[in-house]
Amino acid sequence: MYSAKPIIRTDEEWKHILSPDVFRVARQSGTEPPFSGIYADCHDEGVYACACCKTHLFFSGDKFDSGTGWPSFSRPVHPDNTELHEDSSLGMVRTEVLCRRCKAHLGHVFDDGPLPDGMRYCMNSLSLSLVVCGTQSSDTNMSKSGRE
């Protein structure tokens, strides 16, 4: 069972914490253009965390090149760190992936990924923050200044 305390903030509070681009994608369910995100072609080792609340979401070892222009992962760090919701926007039915702790929009999951599970978690770079192995700091999209 998921036990982390939920983070609940108003849109105004998030706007003071996040850059406008991160707010648009993570808090308003936006999508960054393909091949534009800093993690689309990133091969650094570490853990990808939520850009809003730093919950660990995906290991770099589960990242793969899907050819879509968005960072793609075969599975989350733990299924309890994310939640899935039906998304029928844009005239299609997809499965939206949210951070369970702060409800940030991360991207969508599809069933056309690699074996053994066949899942492709197609995420927005703006919704993620890479914590590189062996460091305490993270390469982040979170703050307006680019620093935590």
Average pLDDT, the chain: 90
pLDDT of residue 4: 80
Per-residue pLDDT band at 1 (split at 50, 70, 90) = low
**Structural domain 33-134, CATH architecture:** Beta Complex (2.170)
Could you tell me the sign of the dihedral formed by the alpha carbons of 43, 32, 9, 63, in that order? Answer: negative
- The mean per-residue pLDDT over the stretch 49-61 comes to 97
The residue extents of the domains of the chain are: 33-134
Per-residue pLDDT band at 147 (split at 50, 70, 90) = very low
- The mean per-residue pLDDT over the stretch 84-104 comes to 94
pLDDT at residue 103 greater than cutoff 80: yes
Q: Is the pTM of this model over 0.75?
A: yes
Contact 70, 107 (CB under 8 A): yes
Catalytic residue among 50, 53, 122, 133: 122
For 15-93, where are the E strands, in sequence order?
46-50, 56-59, 63-64, 72-73, 82-87
Place of tokens 């983070």: 7
122 belongs to the catalytic site: yes
